[in-house]
């Protein structure tokens, strides 16, 4: 690679996609917190029903699963199953020196597929739609990974 700097357009493209995906994943933690506050429940640890300034009227029911919170946890788990691998695969893919337009198509296409997957999951669209959006992102990830593997093998 020429140089590993953000002035390198390939690296910058990767960095934009990667940081957006990191913010997306971290956003799920914050959204979980927001929904736990709204529901005043959906907690998970026994100590979470101790009386504190942030929980002045604790109740054992606060430890019951709350579907609005659980939905975000499922979305979050889907991120954990996908995004760390995109972050690594995308960086390695940059080392194959793809044409910039292709890198942009794959990286931004991946980001878009994940944001649409989020929207579909959050609003409880059909399994079919959610699975289709997930598949697009996963195929982009598999393509980049296979391309990098072949390049590393010198094929």
- Interface with its own copies by CB under 8 A: which residues? 1, 3-6, 11-12, 15-16, 18-20, 22-23, 25-26, 28-30, 33, 43-48, 50, 52-55, 67, 71, 74, 76, 80-85, 87-89, 92, 95-96, 121, 124-128, 131, 134, 138, 141-142, 145-146, 148-149, 151-154
- Least distance between its own copies and beta carbon 125 (Å): 7
67/42 Cα distance (integer angstroms): 8
Of the pair 101, 155, the CB lying nearest its own copies is at 155
DSSP 113-127: HHHHHHHHHHTT--H
- Least distance between its own copies and beta carbon 65 (Å): 12
Q: What is the CB neighbour count within 10 angstroms for residue 75?
A: 21
- Least distance between its own copies and beta carbon 96 (Å): 7
CA-closest candidate to residue 54, choices 33, 81, 72: 33
Of the pair 73, 105, the CB lying nearest its own copies is at 73
48/123 Cα distance (integer angstroms): 28
- Least distance between its own copies and beta carbon 142 (Å): 6
Query: What's the burial of 103, exposed, middle or buried (CB within 10 Å: 0-12/13-18/19+)?
Result: buried
């Amino acid at each position: 690679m020429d140089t590993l700097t953000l002035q390198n357009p390939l690296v910058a493209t990767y960095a934009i996609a990667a940081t957006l995906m990191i913010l997306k994943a971290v956003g799920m933690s914050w959204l979980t917190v927001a929904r736990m506050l709204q529901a005043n429940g959906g907690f998970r640890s026994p100590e979470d029903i101790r009386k504190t300034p942030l929980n002045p009227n604790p109740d054992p029911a606060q430890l019951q699963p709350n579907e609005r919170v659980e939905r975000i946890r499922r979305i979050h788990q889907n991120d954990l199953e996908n995004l760390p691998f995109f972050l690594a695969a995308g960086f390695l893919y940059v080392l194959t020196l793809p044409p910039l337009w292709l890198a942009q198509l794959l990286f931004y296409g991946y980001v878009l597929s994940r944001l649409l997957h989020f929207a579909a999951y959050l609003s409880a669209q059909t399994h079919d739609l959610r699975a289709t959006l997930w598949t697009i992102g996963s195929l982009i990830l598999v393509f980049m990974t296979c391309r990098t593997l072949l390049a590393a093998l010198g094929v």
